[in-house]
Structure 1
């Protein structure tokens, strides 16, 4: 890692922006810290490079929307080889590139943090705004790495020479302490989303919402520090009391907005912004809705690769009247004949044939469409998630759900049923007087229904300490109920989720240059 990051730092080919709202300057190549980081434009360009790694194909552009987050909500149709089949080892290209991409983001953040005080003509307020975002992004990248790989090298300064000794892995607890410290520092530096009007920059409520997620993770596996439930509740409550966020009354509109590059800052606290179609312009398209979207063989309509299919567990989790079902799990596909495609509904018993329906390419405005790439944004934090995190933390802190926890989860449920979120509804509202374990079970299922296909389910199952157990139950479900044409590949994918799969293997690209790090157990 050290040699790679050194040359990344010197060349600084970090300025290819994925975010039109983050970078308004012309990218430059082959600059060094000696003559850089002097102006606000320099700092903003460097910051854009830190953000840029979020949109990498092996991060949120593709990997973390499907093949890196296998769970009980989806399987990859008839995929029998490579990472699409959940076949992973230390040499897997996508895992190596994922690690390298995130550490590139960390190195870029370190370079900016190490050098930004050179910009003496930039106001302290502006430098703090940029510094807060860089601190948060570095912490967020470490949150991803630790969640996925466990103990990893904690590097907090940029590489100055390739002769620097490689770092050993830092204990998970220590990494989380640094994540929390940096995020709390960032909270006091970054601006409000009201100052921007878009949600691809880090803002105060974004920091607070992600801190709630970090604390919930610390409360669960592997640290099991249950005192952190109170912190998770407090930070979720900060977002709720800010007055800046609320639920979009129309569930499907959340995802239409993502496809059409409409910034709904009330529902969506933070998004990865994609732009263009990777056709030579200095923009970064993603594959949301193509790699993980509705089956379609015609580019003009919106090509879908037919990979990510819903499970019966997800489909059946929705009760009658829950409008999220037919938007989340597409009730149709496009049947292609020659150069034409006809929208065709699935039969009632064709559950496992159905695709992820959240990001529908028919709504794209950037025409003509590309087969793979588009400008659909990816949600990193939604207000519904904040409400559900609050309810989960409250349930633990109070040894059962308070009225406020019920209020939070019922708002999410009412919106799902197309109801007014403020008005009690017999059909939508959660059963009253649930015990602490029963309310937790409700939360687990509500997060499945609300956040399906948004890359969080595996994370949730891991922090609840039930990932292998749940996936082995999926094996039995597939064996019993999945159509013969689909079951063999899906069974094999789920069977590979054993205790060792809670963490990815440390990549060979790191092991080859770092004698001070050990491979994860079982790999």
Structure 2
């Protein structure tokens, strides 16, 4: 099937080079719109090509979730700023290759969609199926325009395959682009009515709830900077409520399982409303050879060989991006915890903020976890390649689907819009608190909250800490590792706080903690406490302004590394000020210390100005399209 996808892609690419003159003779030995799209199957191949475009490297295979999203207050690159040839920092200009790609590839997708839509009525076929194909093509066109307008502002709107003379097309205003996106999506909502991920069994094709969720997202940006049409917050509520009230989606009770499922090519059609499919995707969606998800924004690891054979537990990951202390400290902790990094009440922290990398000891040819206790140097742990199937771990690229729209995002959009329209109502609190409840791991019961060492014992080894067993209390799945210093157990770090599934079992009372005895010495003792099920609740009685700040922090905690933060900061209207404030915070909190901080990351954000609200329009496009005007500051 891959050859068909490539054929469709090259076919449309050939159409886009419209500067050549063509003979009037009807071709018979290759495909053109006049002799293609004659059957339903050919329409489907064309649609597959549009889907395929979304996960190529210049799109969500790498660039859109890494290159221009990696320098915010939630994560920062850790490589040399002088080596910034990828757009990781803010030193790019209009000639930057990846800037050009962010413009070019969405327009390739748009052109693919336009060609298909121009020929949608050619085949004789089932009208419902024709509508499904048309609806998906319109959605993909709208989504590509959303990429363009959130990165470049006003852009040319092209709704049909351009002719030879169509070279100088002025940019429409951002409002006009939003109007076109919404018009397409509203038509899609009619065409895809009744098409659900639960019926399909997979979520990497567009369904009706994906359409409504995307409408909510578009209206949320329309309501914010720079268009600032606050009346659109009411529309966000309408479409977020449509998704919520559909009954088709819910939160996975275990936050980390959402991303493990992505690594293992398992569809979670309740949590993930829409994914972009990579290799191993559902039938009908084009397979890609691989992507960089979990590589640059991932946990560092080199491939480990045993007797010249790659060890199946190892994998490749560059880890060019680290978290920020601001993100790490945003997760609530147990105040009484005695650990260096206090135990967090929020299960999301220790998944997103990995406190280790994989290293190789060349002297002994062993692979081990190297602790990273300072947040400035912790890798981004959300997409963990160690959970990918063993047979692909030795490759430099992986086949992880990208989560385009998750249900938690819909809930947070609902909370934000509800607050903007009606203030911090019960509905606003309910939406954000549901996200927090899952984040705290207590959707269906109570879990282990913390473990306190009562007696550290004696005779223990730091190199070989004792085994810790957590049992009883009606629950299961809690695990921990002992922290040893000076021959004593000084703490127990929870590696799992319980079995986070719908049925649990969860803890009804504190479990028993058993620390293995040392070879010689005194056995350490510890006790556990469990949650009471209310820890997740957001502070009641917040003002409208304070609730908005709470939503902003919650979006960072929940959606970090998923390519939201930069555009969120822009739409909230103070991107430059927020990033300067963060730079001051980072400077005061140790980022510049080379041994424990991230000086490269700090250097990369020190020169942000108003021009960085948008990317520059590419030089090559300005040379071709004389009607375009460059964005301010470039």
**Alpha-carbon shift at residue 94 of structure 1 (Å):** 0.6
Deviations 1:249-290 (A, max 9, x none): 00000000010010000000011111179xxx9633111111
Looking at structure 1, the residues matched to 347 and 598 of structure 2 have their Cα atoms a distance apart, in angstroms, of 28
Q: Does the CA-based 8 Å contact 1:219-1:225 persist in structure 2?
A: yes
**Alpha-carbon shift at residue 12 of structure 1 (Å):** 6.5
Deviations 1:372-424 (A, max 9, x none): 211111111000000010011111111x1111211111111011111026999
1:166 is the counterpart of 2:168? yes
Q: Does the CA-based 8 Å contact 1:327-1:358 persist in structure 2?
A: yes
Structure-to-structure mapping, 1:167-186, within 5 angstroms: 167-186=169-188
Looking at structure 1, the residues matched to 353 and 263 of structure 2 have their Cα atoms a distance apart, in angstroms, of 17
Q: Does the CA-based 8 Å contact 2:372-2:378 persist in structure 1?
A: yes
Aligned to 1:38: 38
Structure-to-structure mapping, 1:39-438, within 5 angstroms: 39-69=39-69, 70-80=71-81, 81-82=84-85, 83-119=87-123, 121-160=124-163, 162-190=164-192, 191-275=195-279, 283-298=288-303, 300=311, 301-320=314-333, 321-338=345-362, 340-347=366-373, 350-365=374-389, 367-398=391-422, 400-420=423-443, 425-438=533-546
- Larger RCO: 1 or 2 (CA < 8 Å, sep 6+): 1
Please report the RMSD computed on the Cα atoms of aligned residues, expressed in angstroms. Answer: 2.2
TM-score (norm 2): 0.75
**Alpha-carbon shift at residue 9 of structure 1 (Å):** 2.8
Greater percentage in strand: 2
Deviations 1:432-452 (A, max 9, x none): 111111110110000000001
**Alpha-carbon shift at residue 346 of structure 1 (Å):** 2.3
Looking at structure 2, the residues matched to 12 and 422 of structure 1 have their Cα atoms a distance apart, in angstroms, of 58
1:448 is the counterpart of 2:472? no
**Alpha-carbon shift at residue 157 of structure 1 (Å):** 0.5
Looking at structure 2, the residues matched to 311 and 188 of structure 1 have their Cα atoms a distance apart, in angstroms, of 43
Looking at structure 2, the residues matched to 85 and 222 of structure 1 have their Cα atoms a distance apart, in angstroms, of 22
Please say which structure displays the higher CA radius of gyration: 2
**Alpha-carbon shift at residue 336 of structure 1 (Å):** 1.9
Distance 1:410 1:371, change over 3 A: same
**Could you tell me which of 498, 501, 504 is aligned with 2:612?**
501
TM-score (norm 1): 0.91
Looking at structure 2, the residues matched to 188 and 79 of structure 1 have their Cα atoms a distance apart, in angstroms, of 50
Q: Does the CA-based 8 Å contact 2:203-2:275 persist in structure 1?
A: yes
Deviations 1:447-495 (A, max 9, x none): 0000010100111111101211121122212322214225442122112
Looking at structure 2, the residues matched to 141 and 30 of structure 1 have their Cα atoms a distance apart, in angstroms, of 28
Distance 1:79 1:276, change over 3 A: farther
Name stretches of at least 5 consecutive residues in structure 1 with no aligned partner: 1-5, 14-28
Looking at structure 2, the residues matched to 337 and 165 of structure 1 have their Cα atoms a distance apart, in angstroms, of 58
Deviations 1:326-378 (A, max 9, x none): 0001121112223542123323xx11110010111111115142442111111
1:258 counterpart SS class = helix
Distance 1:422 1:53, change over 3 A: farther
Q: Does the CA-based 8 Å contact 1:414-1:421 persist in structure 2?
A: no
2:367 counterpart SS class = strand
Looking at structure 2, the residues matched to 145 and 473 of structure 1 have their Cα atoms a distance apart, in angstroms, of 28
Distance 1:52 1:499, change over 3 A: same
Q: Does the CA-based 8 Å contact 2:303-2:394 persist in structure 1?
A: no
Structure-to-structure mapping, 1:455-474, within 5 angstroms: 455-474=563-582
Distance 1:63 1:496, change over 3 A: farther
Which moved further from structure 2: 329-338 or 93-102?
A: 329-338
1:117 counterpart SS class = coil
Looking at structure 2, the residues matched to 282 and 206 of structure 1 have their Cα atoms a distance apart, in angstroms, of 21
Structure-to-structure mapping, 1:507-518, within 5 angstroms: 507-518=618-629
Looking at structure 1, the residues matched to 185 and 159 of structure 2 have their Cα atoms a distance apart, in angstroms, of 14
1:188 counterpart SS class = helix
**Alpha-carbon shift at residue 163 of structure 1 (Å):** 2.8
Looking at structure 1, the residues matched to 224 and 390 of structure 2 have their Cα atoms a distance apart, in angstroms, of 42
Looking at structure 1, the residues matched to 148 and 552 of structure 2 have their Cα atoms a distance apart, in angstroms, of 24
Looking at structure 1, the residues matched to 77 and 168 of structure 2 have their Cα atoms a distance apart, in angstroms, of 37
1:271 counterpart SS class = strand
2:358 counterpart SS class = strand
Between Structure 1 and Structure 2, how many residues are aligned?
496
1:453 counterpart SS class = coil
Looking at structure 2, the residues matched to 345 and 436 of structure 1 have their Cα atoms a distance apart, in angstroms, of 41
Aligned to 1:489: 600
Which moved further from structure 2: 332-341 or 426-435?
A: 332-341
Which moved further from structure 2: 101-110 or 424-433?
A: 424-433
